[in-house]
Amino acid sequence: MGTPEQINNATPFTHPFVEIMDSTLRDGEQTSGVSFLPHEKLMIARMLMTDINVDRLEVASARVSDGERDAVKMICRYAETVGMLNKVEVLGFVDGHVSVDWIADCGCRNINLLAKGSEKHCVQQLAKTPREHFDDIMRSLEYADNKGIGVNIYLEDWSSGMSDSPDYIYSMMERLVNTPIKRFMLPDTLGITNPLQVIEFFRKMRKKFPDVHFDFHAHNDYDLAVSNSLAAVLCGAKGLHVTVNGLGERCGNAPLASVQVILKDQFKARTSIKEDKLNNISRLVEEYSGIAVAPNQPIVGENVFTQVAGVHADGDNKDNLYCNPLAPERFGRSREYALGKNSGRANIELNLQKLGLELTPEQMAKVTKRITELGDRKEIVTQDDLPYIVNDVLKHTTPEEKVKLISYMVTSTYGLKPIASIKVEINGMQYAAESTGDGQYDAFVKALRKIYKTYLDRTFPILANYAVSIPPGGRTDALVQTVITWRNGNKIIRTRGLDADQTEAAIKATLRMLNIFEEQQI
């Protein structure tokens, strides 16, 4: 962010209030592959306005499509019913009356006018002189004012303009500073600045125009969107633009959650944001956008409040030694202690305490051993898995296995029936058989039945019910619990198997049943 001298020379920092403008529904929708339906935009807008309490909400670009018009109308109708219409803004263009009329027709009362903030954009893209462009802006401003539409103005490519053509920007500002424009919004459109440059550019803008409300709009091409946003606040920016989950064109924009916590914790700045709902809006936008949040994304990532190392759990259990100010409860979440080969006894004890389970040292040793075994095959075992593991280890331990699985192979090929080849030991003798079936487990059971009928001349219990469940979360690598009910004459045998593989879980349940079955033959 710069040396203390550079920061102190920028501007005094006295815990300012920072206005947060969310652009998920406009700039965020420019993420490749993202297109929100009108009702999805409404749901996101409602949560951002009422649950998250953003100060402003940029919901669309004017003139884009009929679907965009429908979405803006829906959002504006809702916002008006809850007294928040003043929060809604739409990006518009310097196009005479067209954008202003489009926005007014949707019921919106604020336009974010997109003007050119660098001379090369003005001359090369618009093919106009700076004076011609300034005159066009003034005509749009006058028309918006006559229509009762409030105006904020983007100086597009401002960061390049400050590097290449600062006199162009100063000339534009001098013509616009005494107009009804509410906010001058300064974008790092190409994501090219670093924090020291932001400090330098803002110092120059503030020195020439000290009474103007400046916003900063960051892009993340160099992974500096958050740092640049904070540099802007440090130098007097009164507003920041963010998106949920950092969505946006190319590398995205500054993420709402990250900007919020750093403003509050590192700079003691004040905002209107309700932090306990940040995880909720992240999940909603993730679902609607189809863009997954990285597990290690700060604040909203799946793993950011999960401790894996056993030493961390031990330290937290003694005096929260591995906790920082980013307490998960701030964000409607809770700290978790992952279970796996890297976790120790402390992790397991903390998870058992949360579940209200108490184990003897002997039982704890068995559960720890089982978790380590699973961790070698499945990197993380979650707290949701733990009751299944405890149940699997403690309730269904067979003192002496009369039936043992020596080896097996099941195959499944498209267009052909699955095949199972197995070898088992029953009361000290080994037997092998093969069979086909309607599924892998069916083939396995039929091979077992063949062994019992052919070599032992004995009946085999009848399968009465087969149920599969997984812990909450719906992960594809979740542990699978298979509960199988068998009928042997008038007797019912119900056994469970637990594994990351469904077929393996069912086989474990079947072997437990056979051991109980053999005990009943004595």
Q: How many CB atoms lie within 10 A of CB 138?
A: 14
Number of helices (H) and strands (E) in the chain: give both, helices first.
Answer: 18, 16
Dist. CA 279–CA 272, nearest whole Å = 16
Quote the Cα angle for 361-375-303, to 5°.
105
Contacting residues for 65 by C-beta, under 8 A, at least 6 apart:
none
Contacting residues for 230 by C-beta, under 8 A, at least 6 apart:
1, 195, 259, 262, 263, 266, 267
Dist. CA 240–CA 230, nearest whole Å = 9
Contact 430, 407 (CB under 8 A): no
Match 């107009």 to its residue by tokens: 179
Dist. CA 105–CA 147, nearest whole Å = 11
Dist. CA 464–CA 487, nearest whole Å = 6
What Rg do the C-alpha atoms of the chain give, in angstroms?
32
Query: With 0-12 CB in 10 A as exposed, 13-18 as middle and 19+ as buried, what is 274?
Result: middle
**DSSP structure string for 388-447:** HHHHHHHSS--SS-SEEEEEEEEE--TTS--EEEEEEEETTEEEEEEEE-SSHHHHHHHH
DSSP designation for 458: -
- Told to judge if 494 belongs to the known catalytic residues of this protein, a careful annotator would answer no
- Told to judge if 156 belongs to the known catalytic residues of this protein, a careful annotator would answer yes
CA atoms within 13 A on the CB side of 404: 10
Catalytic residue (one of 19, 26, 89, 504): 26
Contact 353, 335 (CB under 8 A): no
Catalytic residue (one of 156, 200, 336, 504): 156
- Supply φ then ψ for residue 327, to 5 degrees: -70, 130
Which residues are known to be catalytic?
A: 26, 156
